[in-house]
Copies of this chain bind each other. A is one copy, B any other.
Amino acid sequence: MDQTRDATRRPTILDVARLAGTSHATVSRYLNGRSYVARATADAIEDAIHRVGYVPNRTARSLVQQSTQAVAFVVRERPDLFFADPNLSRMAIGANAALSAAGYQMLLLIVDTDESADRIVTLVRGGFVDGALLVAMHEEDRVVAELAGAGVPLVTASTPLPDASVPWVDTDNEEASAAITRALVSTGRARVGEIHGPRDAPVSHQRHDGYVRALGAGFDPARVAVADEWSLGAGARAMEELLAAASDLDGVVAASDVLAAGAMDTLHRHGRRVPDDVGVVGFDDSPWATQTSPALTTVHQDAQETGRRMAVRLVEHLRGGAPLEGGEVVPSRVVWRGSAGPRPGA
């Protein structure tokens, strides 16, 4: 590879052809390995490629093939929160592995300003990638709207509004929430309250619905307090409200692990023992879940699998197969730790 350190011009397919004594069309055929190329010609081309240090120009190839073989993984979430959330990281890892296996290169793009949102939308719509995977947790996002509206092949990582037609992959938040609520009830609790997640997050409502469904006739709206953000403090405050409104509570279903951790702080401050007096369950199986004492019984989502499925669906569509529509549910499971009390029958 004695590439000329000339730096004036990168070698092109024409340089290779000239050196190999053939046409550039034949070099192209050799490179793409579809058509047959005579043994001797192939050898000459191979030799020439090494001598000039040729690397095909991706841009030129993409232009004629109308495909870059790349897929964007767009992070529409505060960058620090994205990196701090193990579920999101795992989603990216799962998607990357699946795309990689299919021969696509995943490009992780982080939206961090309004201008970057515009830039990314323009890139994606402009054919810089063949499709996009999108992580956007908030409703009515313009990035989602602008991409979906432009007909870009797209899969999102969270259940969108009911009327939205953007394909998605997600855990069944309602069902998982019902499952963890049933788990808590199964430890012998009769008066189970809820710490409802922030109202602007769709998952808050889905998890609430599951909680209500699992309780059935036992549901009492007085036992619900809404947290205004996903934080320890918000969980603690909501728990205060809950205690004030229904001091006979013997269980709490929190919309996330952080909220559950905050709630436990409040319970301890009030001298209520967990799980003896009050059983607590969380959601997400985040690092918080093992840092509370006792550790949290919670819902584990297989985020890596979510990422994988998002990628698989997109790839199947790009390869001319499946139309991209509808949602897909990824199973989740209840993880038993100490905060709800011992698992019945275990």
Contacts and interface: CB of A to CB of B under 8 A. Distances in A.
A249 interface: no
Interface residues of A, number: 49
B105 A57 contact: no
Interface in A42-62: 53, 55-60, 62
A343 B236 CA distance: 35
Nearest to A304: B80
B89 A83 contact: yes
A115 interface: yes
Nearest to A99: B116
Contact of A58 (B56, B109, B128): B128
A108 B105 contact: no
B112 A109 contact: no
Nearest to A72: B107
Contacts of A215: none
Given A112-B97, A128-B58, A83 B92 contact: yes
Given A68-B128, A100-B119, 8 more contacts: A3-B151, A55-B122, A58-B123, A93-B112, A100-B115, A105-B119, A105-B123, A107-B107
Interface of A: 1, 3, 5, 7, 10, 53, 55-60, 62-63, 68, 70, 79-80, 83-84, 86, 89, 92-93, 96-97, 100, 103, 105-110, 112-113, 115-116, 119-120, 122-123, 125-128, 149-151
29 contacts: A1-B149, A3-B150, A7-B151, A55-B122, A55-B125, A57-B63, A57-B126, A57-B127, A59-B59, A59-B63, A59-B128, A63-B63, A68-B128, A79-B93, A79-B96, A83-B83, A84-B89, A96-B110, A96-B112, A97-B112, A100-B113, A100-B115, A100-B119, A105-B109, A105-B120, A106-B109, A107-B108, A107-B109, A108-B110
